[in-house]
Structure 1
Amino acid sequence: MAELQFFTGTMDSGKSTLALQTNHNHAARGRVGRIFTSHDRAGAATLSSRLGLQHDAIEVSPHFDFWTYVVSELTHGARVDYLICDEAQFYSSVQIDQLARVVDELQVDVFAFGILTDFRTAMFPGSQRLVELADRMNVLQVEALCWCGKRATHNARTENGEMVTEGDVIVVGDVEGGDREQAEVGYEVLCRQHHRRRLTASRAKAVSMIGEPLPFT
């Protein structure tokens, strides 16, 4: 029986790497799949991991219809055994419903990968629908770490090293330093305590030089 599986974790927990590995494992057994992504760090139509691995993918636009796509492929004689769906948090609730229908009515396995919440700690609609519909939900065991060494549980957006809690939900960035001088917007994973206090790694370094007051207000 086909299944809808959802793999989730914070940024930097290896979701895209696992998506690529999952595709490799199934392809090695002679299965034929399709890879999808949305707003990937490497650009449109590419599934990439921070380890440098990447694979061509189909870009999921807001109006993309998974059901229509798979039915069309099968009708034209193509083989589709499974779908790899990365950055699934950016899919709409309707698109997640389409994926569930593909599983139930066409017996095509769907492996979805994504984060649960945005930088405001609000759940993405796509992730929420996956939690509601998935046959299995898997929390990745590779723990991303906050700068303090604790397990990171929250995704923070930064501008010039300062955490922000307002702005567009989708702004593509990365947790790597890279061209940080030229890229104002970045992302950082934090533990709940430091996310609540908006204490990023760069701010913590600055504060450590002058001493931080006790958090009693």
Structure 2
Amino acid sequence: MAKLYFRYSAMNAGKSTSLLQVAHNYEEQGQPVKLYTAAIDDRYGVGQITSRLGPHREVDVFDRDTDFLAGVPAVACVLVDEAQFLSKQQVVQLHQLAQVRGVPVICYGLRSDFRGDPFPGSAYLLALADDIEEIKNICSCGKKATMNIRLDPQGRRMREGEQVSIGGNESYRQACGRCFYMG
């Protein structure tokens, strides 16, 4: 029985690396996969899943108009990076792909933003996913990181702003709950 999986973490935990490894494992066994990333994420170019360790791959993008039920060909698995940017309808579609069509779907993304608020896509993945896994990361203090902190260009913590602001290590860092609230 196929499932909808949600693998989440704070920033910089290796979500994209893990996704690329899963894709490689399927393809090494002759199993075709379909990979997606959010069109809004242009850090390494639109349609690129890139690991901070170096591996990268050109993939399809999703945006608010993407219909996963209509657009996914026959594949062994669907892999979605930056899943926090999915809409409720898209999460439902991915759940239907797994439950009705029997295609495993593995989504990777952030659970919450820099204010501690859930991303809509993540909230619905937490509600509908058949299997939920936290990918572990550590805070600079050594505790498990579960939160994200946004930084301004001078490296100071930001507590207000738009929920979505694309950036990498220069704009975000992971933190444990204590450092998130104390910092």
One fold, TM greater than 0.5?
A: yes
* Corresponding residue of 1:214: none
Out of 26, 50, 53, the residue aligned to residue 51 of structure 1 is: 53
Give 4+ residue runs of structure 1 displaced > 4 Å after superposition: none
Within-5 A mapping of 1:2-151: 2-38=2-38, 39=41, 41-70=43-72, 73=73, 79-140=74-135, 143-151=136-144
Taking the aligned partners of 2:62 and 2:42, their CA distance within structure 1 comes to: 10
Query: Unaligned 5+ residue runs, structure 2?
Result: none
CA shift, 1:144, in A, is: 2.2
Taking the aligned partners of 1:40 and 1:126, their CA distance within structure 2 comes to: 19
How many residue pairs match? The answer is 180
* Corresponding residue of 1:158: 151
* Higher alpha-carbon Rg: 1
CA shift, 1:24, in A, is: 0.6
The amino acid across from 2:181 in the alignment is R
Taking the aligned partners of 1:40 and 1:110, their CA distance within structure 2 comes to: 23
Taking the aligned partners of 2:6 and 2:42, their CA distance within structure 1 comes to: 18
Q: Does 1:171 align with 2:156?
A: no
CA contact (8 A) 1:92 1:126 kept: yes
The amino acid across from 1:83 in the alignment is V
Describe the shift of the 1:29–1:40 C-alpha distance in structure 2 as closer, same or farther (beyond 3 A): farther
**1:66-111 CA distance string (max 9 Å, x none):** 11102xx3xxxxx322101011001111110110111122111101
CA contact (8 A) 1:40 1:48 kept: no
Q: Does 1:191 align with 2:176?
A: yes
CA shift, 1:40, in A, is: 5.1
Taking the aligned partners of 1:11 and 1:166, their CA distance within structure 2 comes to: 18
* Corresponding residue of 1:203: none
The amino acid across from 2:50 in the alignment is S
The amino acid across from 2:166 in the alignment is V
CA shift, 1:41, in A, is: 2.8
Taking the aligned partners of 1:82 and 1:144, their CA distance within structure 2 comes to: 26
RCO (CA 8 Å, sep 6+): is it higher in 1 or 2?
2
RMSD: 1.3
SS in 2 for 1:106: coil
TM-score (structure 1 length as normaliser): 0.79
CA shift, 1:32, in A, is: 0.7
TM-score (structure 2 length as normaliser): 0.93
Percent identical among aligned pairs is: 35
